[in-house]
Amino acid sequence: MKANKNLAETTADYPVASRLDLPQLMDRGGRHVVRRIVAGFMKLAFRVRIEGLDHLPSGGPAIIIANHSSYFDIPLIHVFVKPWIYFVAKLELFKPGFPRRFLAWWGAIPLNREHVSLQAARDILGLLRQGRILCIFPEGTRLKPDSDRRMYPPKTGVYHFARKTGARIVPMGIAADFRFRQPVRLTIGPSFTLKDLQQENPAFKDEEAASIEMMRRVYALAGISAYPLTKADYEAERQRAQAQKGLNP
């Protein structure tokens, strides 16, 4: 997992110096108007139900983790969960012109999923150390409910960011196919720290084991039970993929 190794290296020994200079109260002015419009659209298009809002911390540092199956996941979390949520978004979304300007204005952080940059790590750590709330989709891509998740092990970035900042981790499960006027359920689970996780099971001192357990909790909230995967499952899949690659160079 080259990207995860790079992340561990780049967050090890540098001072926090985020280039993001965003106001503490982001939900103001034009952002407030856009947020209200998006919320209205979501309520019109889907039958939205939010559960467990009492589990959401009133402030940060905190990292929201969630499953990701649709582009609607981001506005769902953003407009129905308060306070303001910053997002880590894949670099490919930051296309020149309006998309890049809008995402920057919205407070999104671009992230190369294959090779985490020092700048992205600084931005994320800077926001968390300012007491903000950040949302990350640990699997790094959109996965349908019937996807074989052995092919997509969760990245370990959340583990490293929480370890560096002491941020609480807030699991959220999204159960929806986002069809018009169909139910959309967002369930927020109890937050926890890495220390809480490791006290439950010392095996979670391992970054991969801890990251898998985090996603297991997310999928349990989403009502998807077929996720009790282990490091061994992912390792077996990696070996199978490598063997297949050797047969078909």
221: domain CATH number is 3.40.1130
**CB of 207 closer than 8 Å to CB of 154:** no
> Residue 108's pLDDT band (boundaries 50, 70, 90)?
confident
Nearest to 164 by CA among 193, 196, 204, 188: 193
Domain assignment present for residue 169? The answer is yes
Q: Which helix (H) or strand (E) holds 110?
A: strand 109-111
Q: Estimate to the nearest angstrom the gap between the alpha carbon of 73 and the chain centroid.
A: 11
Segment 105-123 mean pLDDT:
77
Q: Is residue 105 part of a domain?
A: no
Classify residue 199: in a domain, yes or no: yes
Residue 102 belongs to some domain of the structure = no
179 vs 31, higher pLDDT: 179
In residues, how long is the chain? 249
Whether residue 100 lies inside any domain: the answer is no
Q: Determine if the pTM surpasses 0.85.
A: no
Are 215 and 153 spatial neighbours (Cβ–Cβ below 8 Å)? no
Number of domains in the chain: 1
| Full domain range(s) for residue 195 | 2-88+116-247
Asked if residue 40 belongs to a domain, the reply is yes
CA angle 119, 120, 125 (to 5 degrees): 100
**132 within domain boundaries:** yes
Q: Are 86 and 127 in contact (CB under 8 A)?
A: yes
**DSSP calls for 161-207:** HHHHH--EEEEEEEE----TT-EEEEEEPPPB-HHHHHHH-GGGGSH
Mean pLDDT of 78-86: 84
Residue 110 lies in a domain: no
Q: Are 132 and 60 in contact (CB under 8 A)?
A: yes
pLDDT of residue 51: 95
Tracing tokens 């095996």 back to the chain, one arrives at 203
Tell me the per-residue pLDDT of 140-161, one tens digit each, with 9 for 90 and over.
888 877 777 777 888 898 999 9
